[in-house]
Amino acid sequence: MSVLEIATPDDWHLHLRDGEALRYTVPATSRCFARAIVMPNLKPPVTTVADAAAYRERILAHLPEGHAFEPLMTLYLTDRTTPEEIDAAADSDFVHACKLYPAGATTNSASGVSRIENLYRVFERMEERDLPLLVHGEVTECGVDIFDREQVFIERHLIPVRDRFPALRIVLEHITTAEAVDFVLSSPANVGATITPQHLLYNRNDMLVGGIRPHLYCLPILKAQRHQGALREAAISGNAKFFLGTDSAPHERATKETACGCAGCYSAPFAIELYATIFDQLGALDRLEGFASQFGADFYRLPRNTGMIRLERAGNTIPASLPYAEDGTIVPLAAGQTLDWQLVTPQH
């Protein structure tokens, strides 16, 4: 196969940042994605419907002419989130989910939830109003090994939430372990998961063997090869519980290549080509459209996109760096590598 046409995909987990960053991140995503679930972990975080409305306008102000793109907004849950704010979100036509960050789990999560049980009244209202819960699934206790934090979170917190609120739609974001795959498969249809390109492409050996590669450092961190294999099997399985979410998270090169580098991989400029290359290598190109363009929309109860994009088989070398922010640069995921696919007809 030398040409691949699929329905226009969506990104169900995306960081656009704010301010000057939007000049770069919004065009990078809108070139091929029609919609994206936009993460709310700004400084300060997006905790109210009014915050989300203002952020949405700032995003749309940076949309290139001719690009048809809809940012799907989310609220950042804190210990102070109220059921009344959930009602306001559910009544809006632009807030599509709420995001749970355990306090200290990842970038800009200091305002996150200190004790998940504090939010049970909020989860109850989300279940009543059918507003999805998006979960960064890691515990943060220093006594838990970083490679075990997702598994412990599932056992300690997520299974009780799932069982206590059986009708609550839950997305376990950016899953990284075989245990996460098993949790999703063993849960009802209202529990799904997103999978990133970095967790399909790489494992912890790629990040650590022969020297530390800071641009592969993300949270949840890359895991062992057996976990990577489980994620690959899930992504290409055709199971509608698993769908595309890049977790594209831009950080300037200077903040990644430092004594204490930040977490996040920037995949947006080449996201669909990365996924196409992975699915092709796994012999599953025929299942890319479901994963990228159908299953997420179905889970969020939104119409599937009617437009199409076109990719061609061609050598596509990712640049070593890209411009970002004022006088800055950013290193994209898989920088310097040659992909097997090139987007030739973007969505408009």
| Catalytic residue positions, numbered | 247
| 174 assigned ligand-binding residue | yes
Name the token pair of 220.
Answer: 């949840």
The H-or-E segment that residue 5 falls in is strand 3-7
First to last CA, the chain: 24
By CB atoms closer than 10 A (0-12, 13-18, 19+), residue 248 is buried
- Beta strand extents in 15-91 (DSSP E only): 35-38, 70-76
Strands 3-7 and 11-14, by their bridges, are unpaired
Task: Tell me: is residue 17 an annotated ligand-binding position.
Answer: yes
Closest by CA to 202, choosing from 344, 325, 337, is 337
Task: Report the residue count for the chain.
Answer: 348
193 marked ligand binding residue: no
Please tell me whether 215 is known to bind a ligand: no
163 in a known ligand binding site: no
Short-list 109, 39, 119, 37, CA closest to 83: 119
348 marked ligand binding residue? no
247 annotated binding-site participant: yes
Amino acid at 121: R
- Give burial (CB, 10 Å; 0-12/13-18/19+) of 182: middle
3-state SS, residue 109: coil
15 carries a ligand binding annotation: yes
Dihedral, 61, 64, 69, 73 alpha carbons, nearest 10 = -30
Q: Please give the annotated binding residues for substrate, written as ranges.
A: 15-17, 41, 136, 219, 251, 263
Q: Please give the annotated binding residues, written as ranges.
A: 13, 15-17, 41, 99, 136, 174, 219, 247, 251, 263
